[in-house]
A and B are shown apart, each in its own frame.
Chain A
Amino acid sequence: MFVVFEKEFKDMLRSKRLILIMATFVLSYVISIGSFVVMFSEQGAPMPPNIINLVLGSLVGYLSLIASIIGIALGFDAISGEHEKGTLRIVLSQPIFRDEFIVGKFLAALAVISFALVVATSLSLSSAVIMLGLTLKYEDVARVMLMVLFSIFLALAYYALSVLLSTVFKKSSTSALVSISLLIIFFVILPVLSTVIARAIAGPPPRIKFRPGMSKGEIAKIKEYQAKVNSIRESVLAFSLNHHFNLLAGSLVRYGSRSIGTTTGSTIPIDRVIVEVLSRNLNSLVILLIVIVVPLIISFILFTRSELK
């Protein structure tokens, strides 16, 4: 298994597609922070005191996309690519069991995904810190580390789905196409669709105009309507892997240091943040972990039982 791991790890790290994805991520993040800095300097406005939360907040969106793409890029041809290249028969005609082969591949992907996301995040954040002149506290670094951990889970979930597709489909092009379609559905279509569905089910908003001196009943009606819409949206978005990552990583920003109703820079201890984030979003974490484990188990079973005709 270690031999497969070693070979796959080296191959993946040397892969041009991984380097390209990481470079694109770092560059686009740096550009977005750069434009943020330019915007503030042009307006002559001071940096907001909770700037770190803005930095981390934008990182969530980038990580959500990049982790998904890395997972797909490493997984879509994991098995079908070996079929297409004709290497699978040669490798499996050696004294190796199929489970060693697929587990070796998975462990290599785990290592490369972790490495890629840690490096890409470190580079991006370092650039942001330098450009904005920020000083990171221990709690900020801890939040970023947790964010990266969640992004590794998201990448692994996409990796697991892509590996499953590459086991089912013999062509990598088909596997890639379906994987990318899933990403588009989770990342783009479901968020839009959730709003459309919520509006359709909840009906039009109550015809109450916002004005001074609104009655408690009117406010309650608006709140009730919003809660209904949000609830429906959440139900639809529950099918999106990226949404679960956004909930986990986003809550790190929301519940993190200097964020809850304070601009004084006081810090919430990281252990409290973790407890808060997990207690509110445990479902999302469990769903991400399930989407990692279940497709991998199915892939494992399909691959070990498949016929090499």
Chain B
Amino acid sequence: MVGGDEMENVVVTKDLTKVYGRGKDKVVAVNRANLVIKEKTVHGIVGPNGAGKTTLISMLIGLTVPTSGSGTVLGYDIVKESRKIRERTGLLPEGYGFYEDLTAKDNLLYIAKLNGLKDPESRIKEVLETVGLAKVMNRKVKAFSRGMKQRLGIAQALLKDPEILILDEPTIGLDPSAARDFRNLIRELVKEGKTVIICTHLLRELGELFTYMSVIVSGRIVAQGSMEELKNMVLGKGMSYYIEVKENLSDDIVNELKGIGGVTDLEVKLKGIEIFASKDVGDEVLSLLLNKGVRISKYIERELSLEDIYEYFSKGRSEVRA
């Protein structure tokens, strides 16, 4: 389980596994994934390309059948009741496309009819206004820019007013301004009470949105928890200091650095040292080194980022549940 108990789990999987091919061609795309996603949160599924993110979400909405394991989305079984899941879940797939010769409105009209919406025209207008495309609704999609298509993609996912919105690599190809607009839109959607699942390898762009995160590497979920939990409780390192020195540091100095309160880890590098700490220990580190007569040629101080968390887990650390 992730986080507190007051929120309902909208996605739960148990040892969910997907194997493609047989024999020598066998590829385990998802390996015994136990995913838990809470309602009304932004849950990031993070991993490198080919990690199994897309396969995992494909299984959640019935686009791919699991090889083994089980799961529920909104209480529905992902194999037997996938149609019901798709009625209440919006997906923006990676590499999605539209019927280029149709207008934005006609594309959405088709999706609306597939969902059996009763008043599709007004709903289409509503979602196109949400994504800022209302003025170009009668323009053919082939005239749209990449950013406009991406917004149209979100509009189609929102059309059925889903409880869960799944976005697979949603900011690939977007310029910084469009990516910022996208982040603002996601914040608005969460305020409206939607659960948003974002699959990405671009943590820098989207990580700030996440309330929870699962790190998936080679088909395995290697870490899962709230952002705070993953950052502070699991890593226990809030800051990083890289110090380049002109001569090698003695073991005594290294040991003294380790003894500074708050230092959680330390790595001796070729030309210096990297220190991790759960609080700001920059002044103490510098004082110690200068007092010992160490000649410092470079000093870099930074707060640990999401990328560091991701790096930490993706480098083969054991599975962690916060």
Contact = CB atoms under 8 A, between A and B. Distances in A.
A309 B96 contact: no
B314 interface: no
Interface in B49-79: 54-55, 58, 61, 63-65
Nearest to B61: A93
Contacts of A96: 83, 86, 114
A85 B99 contact: yes
A95 B95 CA distance: 20
B91 interface: yes
Nearest to B109: A7
Interface in A1-33: 3-4, 6-7, 11, 14
A94 B111 contact: yes
A94 B64 contact: no
A290 interface: no
Nearest to A308: B63
Contacts of A85: 97-100
A135 to B, nearest CB: 44
Interface residues of A, number: 22
A308 B58 contact: yes
A14 B101 CA distance: 10
Nearest to A15: B101
A3 B58 contact: no
Given A90-B93, A307-B64, A309-B64, A95 B54 contact: no
Given A11-B99, A86-B96, A309-B54, A95 B114 contact: yes
Nearest to A96: B114
B99 A89 contact: no
Contacts of B160: 94
Tier of interface size on chain B: 20 to 34
**Interface residues of A, dominant DSSP:** helix
Contact of B98 (A4, A11, A87, A92): A87
B110 interface: yes
B99 A94 contact: no
A18 to B, nearest CB: 13
B200 interface: no
B20 interface: yes
A40 interface: no
Interface in A280-309: 307-309
Interface in A122-150: none
B113 interface: yes
Interface in B145-163: 153, 156, 160
- Chain B contact residues: over half helix, strand or loop, or mixed? mixed
A97 interface: yes
A97 B89 CA distance: 15
B99 A87 contact: yes
A3 B114 contact: yes
Contacts of B274: none
Contacts of A90: 91, 93, 96-98, 111, 153, 156
B297 interface: no
Interface string B262-278: 00000000000000000
Contacts of A86: 93, 95-98
A170 B70 CA distance: 30
Nearest to B102: A11
Contact of A95 (B99, B115, B156): B115
A91 interface: yes
Contacts of A92: 63
Given A95-B87, A309-B20, A89 B114 contact: no
Contacts of A84: 97
Nearest to A86: B97
Contacts of A87: 96-99
Contacts of B156: 90
A84 B99 CA distance: 11
A93 B63 contact: yes
Contacts of A95: 83-84, 86-87, 114-116
Given A307-B20, A309-B58, A3 B110 contact: yes
Nearest to B57: A93
Contacts of B95: 86, 89
A11 B65 CA distance: 31
Given A11-B99, A308-B58, A309-B54, A89 B91 contact: yes
Contacts of A89: 63, 91, 93, 95-96
A97 B83 contact: yes
Contacts of B87: 95
A89 B87 CA distance: 15
A83 to B, nearest CB: 10
B93 A309 contact: no
A85 B114 CA distance: 18
Nearest to B94: A89
A263 to B, nearest CB: 53
Given A85-B100, A87-B97, A94-B114, A308 B86 contact: no
A309 B89 CA distance: 18
Interface string A60-74: 000000000000000
Task: Pick the most buried of A11, A14, A92, A93: most chain B CB atoms within 10 A of its CB.
Answer: A93
Given A87-B97, A94-B160, 20 more contacts: A3-B110, A4-B114, A86-B95, A87-B98, A89-B63, A89-B96, A90-B96, A90-B98, A92-B63, A93-B63, A93-B86, A93-B89, A93-B90, A94-B114, A94-B115, A95-B84, A97-B83, A309-B20, A309-B29, A309-B58
Interface of B: 20, 29, 54-55, 58, 61, 63-65, 83-84, 86-87, 89-91, 93, 95-101, 110-111, 113-116, 153, 156, 160
8 contacts: A86-B93, A90-B97, A92-B63, A93-B93, A95-B83, A96-B83, A309-B20, A309-B55
Question: Can you list the 5 inter-chain pairs with the closest CB atoms, starting with the nearest?
Answer: A86-B97, A89-B93, A93-B91, A94-B114, A85-B97
